[in-house]
Amino acid sequence: MPTSPYRISQKAVRFTESVIREMTRLAIRYDAINLAQGFPNFPAPQEIKNAACQAIQADINQYAITWGAPGFRQAIAEKYKEFYDWEINPDKEITVACGATECMISSILAVVNPGERVIVFEPFYENYGPDAIIAGASPIYVSLDPDCNWTFDFEQLEHKIQDAQHHGGIRALILNTPNNPSGKVFSQEELSKLAELAQAYDFYVITDEIYEHIIYDGKSHHPIALFPGMRDRTITISGLSKTFSVTGWRVGYIVAPEDLTDGIRKVHDFLTVGAAAPLQEAGAKAMRTGRSYYKRLASEYRERRDYLVGPLQEAGFKVWIPSGAYYIMVDISPLTDLDDVAFVQRLVKDYRVAAVPGSSFYHRPELGKRFIRFAFCKTLEVLREAAERLSRVSD
């Protein structure tokens, strides 16, 4: 018989099940409008759905090459060249995986050794901490300040890096821009500083750029891999899910230098073998979508953002207007003395609107107890109904 007091691994007891997915289940139970989990309730573009159906009918239904169908990888490389003037070798520097989620864990497992340290900005997408723990790494959390437009303190960050030098140093920093949950788009100044630190203290930057085309108010996305000295120490992650409203397809991709790609591909192979072959064919079609699609995408999401901000403010929430992605973080303290978990339970049960408690985005729950997150990747009709329900919260 095992002598350990745990029936599951000590890694698994260090993190919880996804709170976001739990809120979706609660939304279903209470017939609530789901503004918790970030999936659109409107159709994907017809042309890429047609491409997926055609691939299935053409019997592209067996394994693709483990690290991605050649046509899809070529299309990804062409898109990066078009948008960022970035020359990428599709045969040696691109890996296709099962969504950005698998891209992240494959990348961390490929470059981070057990016991090494990984910097995570918080509030963070809830997978990053568990990903580091699964890899046997120790997360070091650096807070983004909501009262200063979710920026970070450069001196505090460098102090934490220097402190880690006494314990083996930093192996990687996880960067999510545009950011989930805050909607922050990291500035060129911030990215330049991170690039300087990465080179000075010799660590990798693993970037989650899944919302790269959902940006507002004249801001732009700048891949940190293109900053001086960063190409050889950056792993860039993106995918189809958010840009093309196909979160259930689970098709993501990783751009990394050849030596890192070799490691990532080995980990990916034994985690999942490969992403769905017919959906990669549709992905090649998606990558060649014209620029007008991306402009329309950002414009339509901006309209949804601007619509929902008003009712949230009128209901009494303190609202941070996002610069990117499709989430709105709010402060509930002007409305209630309840903590975030109790408040979202009240929202879903009494008002039939689901949100995510802010504590799920922090390593210490008390840091997020006054925040909750709403997703606005829904039709305006659904957002109007949600706004009507939320208008009664302050009654």
| Rounded-to-integer distance, Cα 330 and Cα 311, Å | 12
Instruction: For residue 131, tell me if it sits in a domain.
Output: yes
Residues 146 and 267 in one domain: yes
What is the pLDDT at residue 10? Answer: 78
> Would you give the end-to-end CA distance of the chain in angstroms?
57
Residues 140 and 228 in one domain: yes
Q: What is the pTM of this model?
A: 0.95
DSSP state of 43: P
Domain finish residue from 223, 256, 287: 287
Instruction: For residue 3, tell me if it sits in a domain.
Output: no
| Rounded-to-integer distance, Cα 77 and Cα 87, Å | 7
Residue ranges making up the domain that contains 368: 12-44+292-390
Domain finish residue from 264, 287, 310: 287
Residues 229 and 347 in one domain: no
Residues 248 and 130 in one domain: yes
What is the pLDDT at residue 284? Answer: 98
| Rounded-to-integer distance, Cα 195 and Cα 267, Å | 26
Residues 100 and 244 in one domain: yes
| Rounded-to-integer distance, Cα 288 and Cα 109, Å | 31
Residues 125 and 162 in one domain: yes
What is the pLDDT at residue 1? Answer: 47
Instruction: For residue 55, tell me if it sits in a domain.
Output: no
| Single-letter amino acid code for the residue at 11 | K
Residue spans of alpha helices (H) in the chain: 19-29, 46-57, 70-84, 99-111, 128-134, 154-165, 188-200, 258-272, 277-287, 291-315, 340-346, 380-390
Residues 101 and 210 in one domain: yes
The strand order across the sheet containing 138-143 reads: 94-97, 252-255, 234-239, 204-208, 170-176, 117-122, 138-143
Residues 261 and 348 in one domain: no
Separation in Å, CA 55 to CA 27, 50, 69, 239:
34, 9, 12, 19
The total number of structural domains in the chain stands at 2
Residues 230 and 113 in one domain: yes
What is the pLDDT at residue 113? Answer: 94
Query: For each of the chain's 395 residues, which pLDDT tens digit applies?
Result: 455 556 888 778 877 777 777 878 888 898 999 999 888 999 999 999 999 999 999 999 999 999 999 999 999 999 999 999 999 999 999 999 999 999 999 999 999 999 999 999 999 998 898 898 899 999 999 999 999 999 999 999 999 999 998 888 899 999 999 999 999 999 999 999 999 999 999 999 999 999 999 999 999 999 999 999 999 999 999 999 999 999 999 999 999 999 999 999 999 999 999 999 999 999 999 999 999 999 999 999 999 999 999 999 999 999 999 999 999 999 999 999 999 999 999 999 999 999 999 999 999 999 999 999 999 999 999 999 999 999 998 76
DSSP state of 322: P
Residues 299 and 162 in one domain: no
Q: For residues 170 and 201, is the Cβ–Cβ distance under 8 A?
A: yes
